[in-house]
């Protein structure tokens, strides 16, 4: 196992934990589904990085998670202008987006 695989596994757990916390804050079913999908994508990316096969999937799957949570974060930030209680969930979604972007970049730079 190389460092990129360990990083992707750690980010997968972080996405799962932060997503579950977001779900508890908002009670939104779509956030729970996004969390499950995002964590699974990170696990599959870690597998592809460890096996050195089909490395394009190791890059695309974290990118899908980045776009999924990034779009949701932008929408939540937009709504938080009028509903101030959405500011903390928007910050958490931005954090998940930053983590998954880190995973995307590290998978791209993996040897």
Retrieve residue 9's tokens: 């596994």
Asked whether the predicted pLDDT for residue 1 surpasses 90, the reply is no
Give per-residue burial for 47-76: e unless 16+ CB within 10 Å, then b: bbbbeeeebebbbbbbbebbebbbebbeeb
Domain range for 96 is 3-108
In degrees, rounded to 5, the angle at the alpha carbon of residue 87 between the alpha carbons of residues 38 and 78 is: 80
Structural domain tally of the chain? Answer: 1
The string of pLDDT tens digits covering residues 38-80 is: 999 999 999 999 998 888 999 999 999 999 999 999 999 999 9
Structure confidence by residue, pLDDT tens digits, 5-43 = 999 999 999 999 999 999 999 999 999 999 999 999 999
Which CA distances in Å does 90 have to 38, 70, 77? 17, 10, 6
Which pLDDT belongs to residue 77?
96
**Does residue 111 register a pLDDT over 90?**
no
């Amino acid at each position: 196992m190389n460092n990129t695989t360990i990083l992707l596994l750690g980010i997968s757990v972080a996405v799962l934990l932060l997503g579950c916390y977001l779900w508890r804050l908002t009670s939104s079913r779509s956030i729970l589904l996004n969390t499950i999908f995002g964590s699974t994508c990170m696990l599959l990316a870690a597998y592809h990085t460890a096996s050195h096969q089909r490395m394009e999937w190791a890059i695309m799957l974290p990118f899908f998670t980045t776009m999924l949570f990034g779009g949701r974060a932008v929408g939540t930030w937009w709504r938080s202008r009028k509903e101030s209680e959405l500011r903390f969930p928007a910050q958490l979604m931005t954090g998940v987006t930053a983590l998954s972007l880190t995973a995307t970049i590290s998978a791209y730079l993996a040897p």
